[in-house]
Amino acid sequence: MNAPVMAQVRRTIPEGFLDVLAQYFGDRCSMAEAVRDHHGRDESPYPPMLPDAVVFAQTVEDVVWVARHCHQHGVALIPYGVGSSLEGHLLAIQGGVSLDLSGMNRVLKVHPEDLTATVQAGVTRKQLNEALRDTGLFFPIDPGADASLGGMSATRASGTNAVRYGTMRENVMSLKVVTADGRVIETANRARKSSAGYDLTRLFVGSEGTLGIIVEVTVRLYPLPEAVSAAICNFPDLDAAVRSVIEIIQMGVPVARVEFMDASAVRATNRYSHLSLKETPLLLFEFHGSPASVREQAGQVQDITHEHGGMDFEWAEQPEDRSRLWAARHDAYFAGLQLRPGCRSSTTDVCVPISRLAECVVQTVQEMDQASFPYTIVGHVGDGNFHVLMLLDPDKPDEWAESEQLNHRLVERAIAMEGTCTGEHGVGLHKQGFMLTEHGQDALDLMAAVKTAMDPKNILNPGKVLPGAFAH
């Protein structure tokens, strides 16, 4: 069972192109099948589509060299971080060069007074937080995977902390980018705000490697909260949980995290992570602040959940309990997979205004309950963002088709509710089919015009983000 890849013609690599590449980069250029295979896949359900070569960049100059060379010869160029994207972003559907930036992994500068850090694109979020250990600061964006900052910028990633700290959109201050033709630009300076011209930073954030190659990222940091506590609250049903969250947010309680898990996800997590959570729909909370403020937030949240039928309110105040709980939440994906040993998964990612969230999830559950395969639901409920993890038998092609239909109806439902086809995973290949419904012809034309202006030869991660009809 595999997702179908839309037919795209692999470009012909001009004769001698790869030889020049190999000669220039030596053992930092590989055409070995295993290396190309590794770089021709991501965490999506698609089969691998191999690039013709992989180059391991170590400097901005390396990237410039590759971009110029690919630009000159019209060869596709796909920036590669750690390969954790979920929707087929990295697949070399037109062949070409995969440019692996994981070796560009130095933390360049930390400015504790300004709450900023500048890192090379290959630095991962965990690595950055490790480097910040003695500063009293942290970088909160946490998409689960230990993704690279370059990749997180390129997909406009977020995760469990976004309700309090925002997404990469809000937390990238500036980027160093190599353009399609090999020029190096800085999109902004380190001022916290600026009105000086077009917002190139946010144009590159979320562009999935199609507008430029991100080589450095300057991000905002935050003071480590003086106190942190976490709590779990069980609910009789989803609606009660969502109503609670709406009221919590309307009250202005600055929760740091509020995550929803359905009963199946809880069951899976109990088994996988050896926990004994009550197997009902539940909310997982985290509170950051001064000790008094954390107590106050928790008290307010407890009152609100209680009014909405929240059944318990269990604390995890010890760091080790909290770590265990959040590790379990992060492992919900792997836990889900264990519900059906040997399965492959397809994960959805829609986001709707929170007022429509309960309705959207309830309708989805009604449909999913008819499915021929098991599923779990988890959600960044404070943002209106949720994922359905569909557990598919790799030997039953019908299940893939069925899951695609369910995904299709879910996305259409989310868009009809003023939502989006992807809250945080990105478009890649898998969500291209929804771009027209979500944005309309004229907005896509405008995006295509921007793409053409910035990458006139369409060498940068070609065939991604914009559906085929809009690719120039």
Quickly tell me which residue has 């600061």 as its tokens: 137
Q: How far apart are CA 322 and CA 256, in angstroms?
A: 13
Nearer residue to a copy of itself within complex by CB, 177 or 232? 177
Cβ 151 to a copy of itself, closest distance in Å? Answer: 12
Among 447, 458, 460, 463, binds a copy of itself (CB under 8 A): 447
The residues that bridge with 310 in the sheet, in sequence order, are none
Q: In Å, how far are 348, 432, 435 from 412, measured between CA atoms?
A: 12, 13, 11
Asked if 339 touches a copy of itself (CB under 8 A), the answer is no
Q: Which is nearer to a copy of itself, 114 or 402 (CB)?
A: 114
Task: Give the Cβ contact number of residue 261 at 10 Å.
Answer: 28
Identity of the residue, 223 or 394, whose beta carbon is nearer to a copy of itself in the bound complex: 223
Shortest separation between residue 445's beta carbon and a copy of itself, angstroms: 8
Give, rounded to a whole angstrom, the gap between the first and last alpha carbons of the chain. 31
C-alpha 179/C-alpha 176 separation (Å) is 10
Q: Cβ closer to a copy of itself: 34 or 196?
A: 196
**Beta-bridge mates of residue 133:** none
In angstroms, what is the minimal distance from the CB of 451 to a copy of itself? Answer: 8
The yes or no reply on residue 134 touching a copy of itself (CB under 8 A) is no
- Should residue 363 be labelled a site residue for a copy of itself when binding is judged by CB under 8 A? no
Q: Which stretch binds a copy of itself (CB under 8 A): 19-27, 64-72, 335-343, 352-360?
A: 352-360
Mapping DSSP to helix (H, G, I), strand (E, B) and coil, where does residue 8 land?
Answer: coil
Residues 379-398 that bind a copy of itself (CB under 8 A): 383-385
- The answer to whether 435 contacts a copy of itself (rule: CB under 8 A) is yes
As given in the structure block, the two tokens for residue 401 are: 């088709």
3-state SS record for 198-260: CCHHHHHCCCCCCCCEEEEEEEECEECCCEEEEEEEECCCHHHHHHHHHHHHHCCCCCCEEEE
The one among 2, 23, 59, 250 contacting a copy of itself by CB under 8 A: 250
Q: How far is CA 183 from CA 29, 65, 76, in A?
A: 22, 10, 17
> Is residue 352 within the footprint of a copy of itself (CB under 8 A)?
yes
213 contributes a contact to a copy of itself by CB under 8 A: no
Residues 451-470 that bind a copy of itself (CB under 8 A): 451-454, 465-466
**Tokens found for residue 459:** 């060498």
Q: Which is nearer to a copy of itself, 103 or 144 (CB)?
A: 144
Given 70, 431, 461, 462, the residue binding a copy of itself (CB under 8 A):
431
Stretch that binds a copy of itself, among 10-18, 26-34, 195-203, 230-238 (CB under 8 A): 195-203
Query: In degrees, to the nearest 5, what angle opens at C-alpha 295 toward C-alphas 133 and 384?
Result: 75
To a copy of itself, the closest distance from the beta carbon of 114 in angstroms equals 4
Taking CB under 8 A as the binding criterion, the range among 27-35, 231-239, 271-279, 423-431 that sits at the site for a copy of itself is 423-431
Which pair of structure tokens corresponds to residue 368? Answer: 């999913």
Of 285, 268, 286, nearest to 277 (Cα)?
268
CA distance 286 to 230: 4
Is residue 122 near a copy of itself by the rule CB under 8 A? no
Q: Residue 435: what are its φ and ψ, rounded to 5°?
A: -65, -40
Contacting a copy of itself within 6-65 (CB under 8 A): none
